[in-house]
């Protein structure tokens, strides 16, 4: 049973998702949270991870640590996206298992599902067809993490569960144009174009793919839900169950930012998966549902961007 003084280690606590989980746990009175930076603990190093888990003895590990990026980064650095993510999650999962951690929550991504799977994406569609080539390396790593947690759950009857979020965005996001995801990249592009006399904004692809977006605080709430309840299955989608075209997304962001110029779609650039909508009925049936609508979430994200724009640094791969 998880108590307010249970020791909870959040791997990746400085990232967008990890920091949101930290904030919500703190607000709910959890008093024994552990977080260390990547400079203090390199999660790619098996011995360091095992020594850390042995020393801190967490009751729960929440794995929000990952090497992440958009289409460009995934295309340019396939080996790093495959290997480093497998190293991080395998070290955490195995140390948790070997050293008697009671509960493990593994966070993945909706990209684990086949490129042309029937919509909306159900959990049982995993491994039924081929992946989207532009992010298959990251997806393969995350699939291996899901399967490792499932294997431990099946073989040793431990409470290891995987949550697969849809596209996440929010405060503390990555706004670097070479490595960020589509929504924060658009916020930055429209903002800088607004400052540059409402210059033309060039966006990748045709604008026709459909995507679903979840505000990061809602994802954090789903993690806390999984923490406070023993979920009966090994894999759960986390999202809104609502999608829109990338072109519609651009128009919403353009309006919120206040950009008055034109948008040009560069259809020589890849679109990625045509549609990626999550079936979130399993989580909703248990009692969790998202609370923040897209416009509200984008406004909160843009407000945070404006407050921190001077500190936002370019992320180098």
Average pLDDT rounded to a whole number, residues 221-228 = 98
Average pLDDT rounded to a whole number, residues 282-296 = 98
* Active-site annotation holds for 9: no
Q: Above 80 in pLDDT, residue 273?
A: no
Q: Above 90 in pLDDT, residue 112?
A: yes
Note the pLDDT tens digit of each residue in 35-50: 999 999 999 999 999 9
How much is the pLDDT for 72?
A: 76
Among residues 266, 279, 219, the alpha carbon closest in space to that of 22 is found at 219
Round to whole Å and give the CA distance between 97 and 40. 23
Break the chain down into helix, strand, coil percent, rounded to 5: 45, 15, 40
Q: Above 60 in pLDDT, residue 276?
A: yes
- The pLDDT confidence band at residue 313, using thresholds 50, 70 and 90, is low
- The pLDDT confidence band at residue 317, using thresholds 50, 70 and 90, is very low
How many other C-beta atoms lie within 10 A of the C-beta of residue 266?
Answer: 10
pTM: 0.93
Phi, psi at 173, each rounded to 5°: -75, 170
Q: For the chain, how long is the longest CA-to-CA vector?
A: 61
Annotated binding site: 12-18, 107-110, 142, 165-168, 181, 189, 204, 211, 271
- The pLDDT confidence band at residue 118, using thresholds 50, 70 and 90, is very high
How much is the pLDDT for 188?
A: 96
Please tell me what DSSP assigns to residue 53. Answer: H
Q: Above 80 in pLDDT, residue 316?
A: no
Q: Which two tokens stand for residue 195?
A: 């400052």
Identify whether the C-beta of residue 221 lies closer than 8 Å to the C-beta of residue 19: no
Residue 154, classified by CB atoms within 10 Å of its CB into exposed (0-12), middle (13-18) or buried (19+), is: exposed
Annotated binding site for substrate: 189, 204, 211, 271
Domain boundaries, the chain: 8-173+212-242+277-292
Of the residues 138, 169, 234, 302, only one is catalytic, namely: 138
Q: Above 70 in pLDDT, residue 314?
A: no
Annotated binding site for NADP(+): 12-18, 107-110, 142, 165-168, 181
Round to whole Å and give the CA distance between 48 and 199. 49
Instruction: Name residue 238's beta-bridge partners.
Output: 165
Note the pLDDT tens digit of each residue in 21-77: 999 999 999 999 999 999 999 999 999 999 999 999 999 999 999 987 777 778 889
How much is the pLDDT for 179?
A: 73
Round to whole Å and give the CA distance between 105 and 162. 6
Homologous superfamily (CATH) for 8-173+212-242+277-292: NAD(P)-binding Rossmann-like Domain (3.40.50.720)
């Amino acid at each position: 049973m998880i108590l307010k003084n249970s020791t909870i280690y959040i791997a990746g606590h400085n990232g967008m998702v990890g920091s949101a989980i930290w904030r919500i746990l703190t607000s709910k009175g959890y008093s024994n949270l552990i977080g260390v930076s990547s400079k203090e603990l390199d999660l790619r190093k098996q011995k360091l991870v095992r020594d850390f888990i042995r020393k801190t003895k967490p009751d729960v590990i929440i794995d929000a640590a990952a090497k992440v990026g958009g289409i460009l980064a995934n295309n340019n650095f396939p080996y790093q996206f495959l290997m480093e993510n497998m190293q991080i999650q395998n070290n955490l999962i195995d140390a948790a298992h070997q050293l008697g951690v009671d509960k493990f929550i593994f966070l993945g991504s909706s990209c684990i599902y086949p490129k042309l799977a029937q919509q909306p994406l159900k959990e049982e569609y995993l491994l039924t067809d081929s992946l989207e080539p532009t992010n298959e390396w990251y997806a393969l790593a995350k699939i291996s993490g899901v399967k490792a947690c499932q294997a431990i759950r099946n073989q040793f009857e431990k409470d290891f569960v995987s949550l697969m979020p849809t596209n996440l965005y929010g405060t503390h996001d990555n706004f670097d144009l070479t490595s960020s995801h589509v929504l924060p990249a658009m916020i930055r592009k429209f903002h800088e174009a607004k400052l540059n006399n409402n210059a033309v904004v060039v966006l990748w692809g045709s604008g026709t793919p459909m995507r679903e977006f979840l505000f990061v605080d809602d994802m954090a709430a789903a993690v806390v839900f999984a923490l406070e309840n023993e979920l009966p299955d090994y894999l759960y989608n986390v999202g809104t169950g609502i999608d829109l075209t990338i072109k519609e997304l651009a128009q919403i962001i353009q309006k919120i930012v206040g950009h008055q110029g034109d948008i040009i779609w560069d259809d020589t650039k890849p679109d990625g998966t045509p549609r990626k909508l999550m079936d979130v009925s399993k989580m909703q049936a248990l009692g969790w549902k998202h609370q923040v609508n897209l416009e509200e979430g984008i406004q909160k994200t843009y407000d945070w961007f404006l407050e921190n724009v001077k500190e936002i640094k370019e992320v180098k791969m």
